[in-house]
């Protein structure tokens, strides 16, 4: 049996797991991500790797995959930026970990790693073309076409949250107007809800938020209780999601779409609206493209990171 170590480097939590080729997690270790700077975080990464590596024969470990937030230069293995980790800029993570562990290391952007994991072990198993979308604070994702990740120049492709779907629409954090992320992310939903409440629209969202800033979760909970404003916001949210998914179907013609992220937890509420929008927008021969909730859930990060190793065999370490 071959194993890989998957490292999920998150802004709040850092997690490593020893994963076998069947996607079973043998051991895992979690720590709260340090805010003391990159050196401290790198020491944490090495500690969790060491802890899980000892659970199996080291010779059976093919390598270490790391899912890193933000862009990663795939030629050099440098993690460019991670807004969620203090001081994290241009960290040569691959070279550091290779030197410290003497193992084969691959570093990849977390959304791409998740797409690969969902394809290899989750709802995309067995298909040739998968689009993975994660809708939470922002919108990200990765695309597998002909059984390979779409990477583009310097690995910068599939910035799917930054497709313009309404050219004169809401301003996005990236500076563009009408990006999918600016209209359909959890943050966008929360912002539209806050504005409606500020304008005096009655809704139980206010009670549910109980003084905290309104979040997408508050809106979803109010909609589950048949709150009229929340239901209307969830309808619009589903429609925006459907418009973006239509574009991804037309561009990549995937066998399946997998939806992850916090917003996908409200799939029961969103699904009718997503489907209604796609039913008329998608071209007929592509209209049957299945949209599923991603299966790997909380293990997405470590399984995706481990898949980097299983899908890309170790190079000779000369």
Binding site for a second copy (CB under 8 A): 71, 128-129, 145-146, 148, 150-160, 162-168, 174-177, 243, 246-247, 250-255, 280-283, 285-286, 289
Cβ-based neighbour number of residue 125 at 10 Å: 13
Distance CA 138, CA 114 (A): 15
Nearest distance in Å: CB 25, a second copy:
30
Element (H, E) at 50: helix 38-53
For a second copy, the closer of residues 6 and 138 by Cβ is 138
What burial class does residue 72 get, using C-beta atoms within 10 Å of its C-beta: 0-12 exposed, 13-18 middle, 19+ buried? Answer: buried
For a second copy, the closer of residues 83 and 153 by Cβ is 153
Nearest distance in Å: CB 85, a second copy:
19
Nearest distance in Å: CB 118, a second copy:
17
Nearest distance in Å: CB 168, a second copy:
7
- Which residues does residue 258 pair with via DSSP β-bridges, in sequence order? 132, 292
Nearest distance in Å: CB 180, a second copy:
10
For a second copy, the closer of residues 214 and 245 by Cβ is 245
| Pairing between β-strand 256-260 and β-strand 148-149 as defined by DSSP bridges | unpaired
User: How are strands ordered across the β-sheet holding 3-9?
Assistant: 25-32, 13-20, 3-9, 61-68, 105-109
Distance CA 62, CA 72 (A): 21
For a second copy, the closer of residues 249 and 306 by Cβ is 249
Contacts of 148 (CB under 8 A, 6+ apart): none
Distance CA 181, CA 160 (A): 8
- Which residues does residue 171 pair with via DSSP β-bridges, in sequence order? 177
For a second copy, the closer of residues 22 and 285 by Cβ is 285
Contacts of 268 (CB under 8 A, 6+ apart): none
For a second copy, the closer of residues 7 and 130 by Cβ is 130
**Contact yes or no for 290/254 (Cβ under 8 A):** no
Nearest distance in Å: CB 83, a second copy:
14
For a second copy, the closer of residues 240 and 310 by Cβ is 240
Nearest distance in Å: CB 44, a second copy:
28
């Amino acid at each position: 049996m071959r194993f890989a170590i998957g490292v999920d480097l998150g802004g709040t939590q850092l997690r490593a797991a020893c994963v076998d080729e069947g996607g079973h997690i043998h051991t895992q270790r979690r720590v709260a991500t340090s805010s003391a700077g990159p050196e401290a975080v790198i020491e944490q990464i090495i500690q969790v790797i060491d802890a899980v590596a000892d659970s199996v024969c080291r010779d059976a470990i093919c390598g270490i995959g790391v899912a890193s937030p933000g862009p990663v230069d795939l030629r050099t293995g440098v993690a460019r930026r991670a807004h969620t980790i203090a001081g994290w800029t241009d960290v040569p993570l691959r070279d550091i970990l290779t030197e410290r562990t003497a193992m084969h290391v691959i570093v990849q952007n977390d959304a791409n790693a998740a797409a690969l994991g969902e394809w290899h072990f989750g709802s995309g198993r067995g298909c040739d073309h998968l689009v993975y979308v994660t809708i939470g604070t922002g919108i990200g994702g990765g695309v597998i076409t002909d059984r390979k990740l779409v990477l583009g120049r310097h690995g910068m492709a599939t910035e799917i949250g930054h497709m313009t779907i309404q050219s004169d629409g809401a301003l996005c954090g990236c500076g563009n107007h009408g990006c999918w992320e600016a209209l359909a992310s959890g943050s966008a939903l929360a912002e539209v809800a806050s504005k409606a409440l500020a304008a005096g629209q009655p809704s139980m969202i206010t009670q549910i938020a109980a003084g905290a800033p309104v979040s997408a979760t508050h809106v979803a909970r109010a909609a589950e209780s048949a709150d009229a404003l929340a239901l209307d916001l969830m309808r619009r949210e589903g429609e925006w999601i459907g418009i973006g998914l239509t574009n991804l179907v037309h561009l990549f013609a995937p066998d399946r779409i997998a939806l992850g992220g916090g917003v996908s937890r409200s799939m029961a509420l969103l699904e009718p609206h997503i489907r209604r929008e796609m039913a008329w927008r998608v071209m007929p021969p592509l209209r049957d493209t299945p949209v599923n909730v991603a299966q790997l859930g909380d293990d997405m990060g470590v399984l995706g990171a481990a898949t980097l190793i299983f899908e890309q065999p170790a190079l000779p370490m000369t």
